[in-house]
Amino acid sequence: MIEVHNIRKEFKTPVVKEGRFSGLRTLFTREYRTKEAVKGISFQVQPGEFVGYIGPNGAGKSTTIKMLTGILHPTSGHVTIRGMNPHKERRSVVNNLGVVFGQRSQLWWDLPVKDSYDILAKMYSVDVGDKERRLGQFAELLDLQAFWETPVRKLSLGQRMRADLAAAILHDPDVLFLDEPTIGLDVNAKRNIRHFLKLINEQFGKTILLTTHDMDDIEQLCNRVMVINNGELSYDGTVNSLRDTIGLPTVITVTFRGPFAIPEQFQRQGNPAVPIRVTSSLDNTVTIEVNRREMKTLDIFKELGRWGELDDIDMEDPDFEDVIHKVY
């Protein structure tokens, strides 16, 4: 569906001169600084995948998305979407592509929401029957009726995002690029948007590439995550194996039914030969940290069973937000 082969993007920016008349001298300068925003990225996205594309500010996410949508041309390497080049065959590619930028709307600011859909349907040659049918469906799923007649500029952020999502899929594209679709939304509005995205991915089979700084978006929606760092892909795989790769410990709290004894080798702090680290022991409750990459869950339970009779076990996997901080 989406094929990306070793794409690079260089930006050339004029070097700003210092001192008097610097603005004027910069205007006539011939000196440029080259910034390599994307440094040779390759990946493929299969039909129906929901992929998160994450990375710190300035990592190169937007630049990648712009190359995928054909807005920017790669300095080298190439991109195809359903076998087409998004730069050279822009019209055909765009017909099969929906894009949502959380920070700005593609709707007409002063027009009622419904008028924007009329314009978009004409632009994409969506026939009236299809338009009415799809809008009927989206109006229900995204609860658009409440602000159907309202000018876009008067919508709340959550309403605007719902209206924008409907606009992006009005022409029924197979592929969606979503750039921060939950930015600035409250918990409820985020939940609604995520619910809709999950539905169109799972039931309508849309292929989605999602850029976000919200790790809950990634955890709740994406079966795969790609991390870009300083222009390079530093990870491409499942959310769970990212957790394992980073190796933050799982915290396990064990309650013993009666007397228990922690073997001597586990009592020594920072013993690298032992995968289990006891962090506290109070009454009949012991808290340990263990890296699940180093020890299987069943083996952990077996080991704890040797210490005493188990009453209860509570496991807390590392927070995804913490995992991501480690990757960045």
Ligand X SMILES: Nc1ncnc2c1ncn2[C@@H]1O[C@H](COP(=O)(O)OP(=O)(O)OP(=O)(O)O)[C@@H](O)[C@H]1O
User: Is 66 or 190 the residue whose CB approaches ligand X more closely?
Assistant: 66
d(CA 147, CA 315): 45
Sequence-distant (≥ 6) Cβ neighbours of residue 35 within 8 angstroms: 10, 11, 12, 13
**Are 281 and 262 within 8 A, CB to CB?**
yes
Q: CB of residue 183 vs ligand X: minimum separation in angstroms? A: 10
Sequence-distant (≥ 6) Cβ neighbours of residue 184 within 8 angstroms: 102, 157
How is residue 248 annotated by DSSP?
Answer: P
User: Is 55 or 70 the residue whose CB approaches ligand X more closely?
Assistant: 55
Site string for ligand X, 148-177 (x = CB under 6 A): ------------------------------
User: Is 63 or 159 the residue whose CB approaches ligand X more closely?
Assistant: 63
- Strand partners for 207: 175
CA dist 65 → 54, 97, 176 (Å): 12, 12, 11
- Buried-exposed string 195-204: b where 16+ CB fall within 10 A, e elsewhere: ebbeebbeee
Q: CB of residue 57 vs ligand X: minimum separation in angstroms? A: 3
- The full length of the chain comes to 328
Part of the chain binding ligand X (CB under 6 A), chosen from 59-67, 130-138, 216-224, 317-325: 59-67
Three-class DSSP category at 81? strand
d(CA 59, CA 253): 38
Q: CB of residue 59 vs ligand X: minimum separation in angstroms? A: 4
Site for ligand X in 10-29 (CB under 6 A): 11, 13
User: Is 179 or 248 the residue whose CB approaches ligand X more closely?
Assistant: 179
User: Is 61 or 134 the residue whose CB approaches ligand X more closely?
Assistant: 61
Site for ligand X in 33-52 (CB under 6 A): 35, 37
Part of the chain binding ligand X (CB under 6 A), chosen from 58-66, 106-114, 248-256, 292-300: 58-66
Part of the chain binding ligand X (CB under 6 A), chosen from 61-69, 148-156, 190-198, 262-270: 61-69
Site string for ligand X, 216-245 (x = CB under 6 A): ------------------------------
Strands (E), the chain: 2-14, 32-45, 50-54, 76-81, 97-101, 175-179, 207-211, 224-229, 232-237, 250-260, 276-282, 285-290, 308-316
Q: How many positions of this chain bind ligand X (CB under 6 A)?
A: 12
Does 61 engage in binding with ligand X (CB under 6 A)? yes
Does 59 engage in binding with ligand X (CB under 6 A)? yes
Does 63 engage in binding with ligand X (CB under 6 A)? yes
User: Is 55 or 173 the residue whose CB approaches ligand X more closely?
Assistant: 55
User: Is 41 or 81 the residue whose CB approaches ligand X more closely?
Assistant: 41
**Are 114 and 97 within 8 A, CB to CB?**
no
Binding site for ligand X (CB under 6 A): 11, 13, 35, 37, 55, 57-63
